[in-house]
């Protein structure tokens, strides 16, 4: 039987021997606002695991990309290896990722610790930037959770405190 095509990235190895977590750059922002909502039960369970890993292990390496990642792999919108929302139309997601990467001064594929990534976000992105620039058109941004999470981060809390209740 022919091998099935792989549509989601495998973790790459870093010097510590643990796999880097592959993340779309804009998902760093989504993780700040995550409160257990999502596209399906499988999506929520997987995103809960990813967000917990970011919160509990800030020293973990992340590789920031503009392609499907560890969160997308359980998303019903991932079709044929691309983000294709059910409503149709062109996904703005890769553009969103590239905008975040540019603001952070990084290129697609950049590897750094989760702590370093959130230090850059804290310094370079404001809560107001989300609705007007990075997350325009996102169905979740109107809830205000992501802005709140970023405000808490910028107020000096670690990423692990940037939520009101456990995911
Ligand atoms: S909506 Fe698109 S970018 Fe977001 S998790 Fe699903 S596949 Fe990934």
Q: How many domains does the chain have?
A: 1
Task: Kindly state whether residue 104 falls inside one of the protein's structural domains.
Answer: yes
Range in 9-13, 57-61, 154-158 the model is least confident about: 9-13
More confident residue, 3 or 96: 96
Query: Which pLDDT belongs to residue 159?
Result: 66
Q: Model confidence at 156, in pLDDT bands (50, 70, 90)? A: confident
Mean of the pLDDT values across residues 157-161? Answer: 64
More confident residue, 106 or 167: 106
Task: Kindly state whether residue 1 falls inside one of the protein's structural domains.
Answer: no
For the stretch 7-29, pLDDT in tens is 444 444 444 336 899 999 999 99
Task: Kindly state whether residue 6 falls inside one of the protein's structural domains.
Answer: no
Mean of the pLDDT values across residues 110-122? Answer: 97
Instruction: Enter the tokens of residue 138.
Output: 């996102």
Per the structure, the complete domain to which residue 45 belongs is given by 21-161
Task: Kindly state whether residue 70 falls inside one of the protein's structural domains.
Answer: yes
Q: Model confidence at 89, in pLDDT bands (50, 70, 90)? A: low
Pocket (CB within 6 angstroms of ligand 1): 24, 71-72, 75, 77-78, 83, 93
Give 14 Cα–ligand 1 centroid separation in angstroms.
Answer: 25
Cα Dmax for the chain: 54
More confident residue, 12 or 95: 95
Task: Kindly state whether residue 58 falls inside one of the protein's structural domains.
Answer: yes
Mean of the pLDDT values across residues 118-127? Answer: 97
The closest-lying atom of ligand 1 relative to the alpha carbon of residue 26 is 3
Q: What is the DSSP letter of 13?
A: B
Task: Kindly state whether residue 66 falls inside one of the protein's structural domains.
Answer: yes
Task: Kindly state whether residue 5 falls inside one of the protein's structural domains.
Answer: no
Query: Which pLDDT belongs to residue 88?
Result: 60
Task: Kindly state whether residue 7 falls inside one of the protein's structural domains.
Answer: no
Query: Closest Cα partner for 130 from 146, 117, 116, 119?
Result: 146
């Amino acid at each position: 039987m022919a091998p099935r095509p792989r549509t989601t990235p495998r973790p790459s190895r870093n010097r510590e021997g643990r796999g880097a977590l592959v993340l779309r750059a804009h998902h760093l922002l989504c993780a700040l606002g995550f409160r257990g909502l999502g596209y399906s039960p499988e999506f929520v369970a997987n995103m809960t695991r990813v967000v917990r890993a970011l919160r509990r292990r800030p020293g973990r390496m992340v590789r920031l990309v503009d392609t499907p990642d560890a969160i997308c792999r359980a998303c019903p919108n991932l079709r044929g290896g691309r983000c294709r929302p059910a409503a149709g139309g062109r996904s703005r997601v890769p553009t969103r990722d590239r905008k975040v990467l540019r603001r952070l001064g990084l290129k697609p594929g950049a590897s750094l610790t989760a702590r370093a990534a959130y230090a850059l976000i804290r310094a370079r992105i404001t809560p107001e930037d989300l609705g007007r620039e990075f997350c325009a058109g996102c169905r979740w941004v109107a809830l205000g959770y992501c802005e709140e999470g970023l405000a808490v981060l910028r107020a000096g809390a670690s990423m692990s405190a940037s939520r009101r209740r456990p995911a």
